[in-house]
Amino acid sequence: MTDESEQLERLLSELHDGHLADEQLADARRAIAEDPDAAATVRGYERLDGVLQDWQVVSPGMDWEAFARQVSSRVADEAEERDADESAKLAAVDRLIGDSVEPLPAVDWDVLKSRISRAVHEEAAEAARPSIKPSQSWRRVVGWTGRVAVPLAAAAAVVFLVWGPWMGGPPGPGVSAGPIVMVSLEMPDSVGQISVTFAEEPADGDYDVPPLVMGTAIAVGPSTGNNTTFEEPMDEAYFY
């Protein structure tokens, strides 16, 4: 069967379905008038439709009222059971609440008030840090933790190159303590590079700890004497 004849047969089969457009109806009627096969096809579908209408028809003697009563009764039983279930559940909840209600333990309200007040003040102080809102602060902590790890790791590598043999911990017993070096990561310059500053301090000397707003690494031990450079394009956001 060609696509065209298949389409015509479909059209003819739907002739009585009531959804064909006027143009389709006209095409179907023209085909029936001009082509005896098309007319026979339509008759075949009409007979089929008649046979289907008679197929397994519910007996006219069916007692619909009795059936409706039966279904309705089952639905009513269902509703009653459901209501009873709901009531039982609510009663159980009431009992549970009733059984579990106990006198409130003694509370030292002054202590509780002080505790809450202290927590609130700490929170307020944290939030009042200059120009940093709590949410920004939190984002910065997260950002710093994630991203400053890169320059710190790089700084640690630099330190290792320069003071490599001593890295890994402070000198043990019998080993003289070497100088302490402070490695500070400074703000990136305008071309996006950072500079690393080494400040060697005697082991027993006094030194100032650089502010922790920069990444800081500390190495202990003698210098290897090697020079090294550390240049890496940095995002300013790595520093706060």
Kindly list the residues in this chain that would bind another protein in the complex (CB under 8 A).
9-10, 13-19, 43-60, 62, 64, 67-68, 70-72, 74-76, 78-79
Q: What is the DSSP letter of 201?
A: E
Residue 82: CB minimum distance to another protein, A? 8
Residue 51: CB minimum distance to another protein, A? 6
Residue number, 31 or 181, with CB nearest to another protein: 31
**Residue 148: other Cβ atoms inside 10 A:** 18
Residue number, 38 or 214, with CB nearest to another protein: 38
Residue 15: CB minimum distance to another protein, A? 7
Residue number, 27 or 46, with CB nearest to another protein: 46
Residue number, 75 or 203, with CB nearest to another protein: 75
Cβ-contact 228, 138 below 8 angstroms: no
Residue 91: CB minimum distance to another protein, A? 19
**Residue 133: other Cβ atoms inside 10 A:** 10
Query: How far apart are alpha carbons 77 and 54 in whole angstroms?
Result: 37
Residue number, 81 or 236, with CB nearest to another protein: 81
Q: What are phi and psi of 196, to 5 degrees?
A: -110, 125
Q: What is the DSSP letter of 229?
A: -
- With H, G, I as helix, E, B as strand and everything else as coil, classify residue 219: strand
Q: How many CA atoms lie within 13 A of 147 on its CB side?
A: 14
Residue 39: CB minimum distance to another protein, A? 13
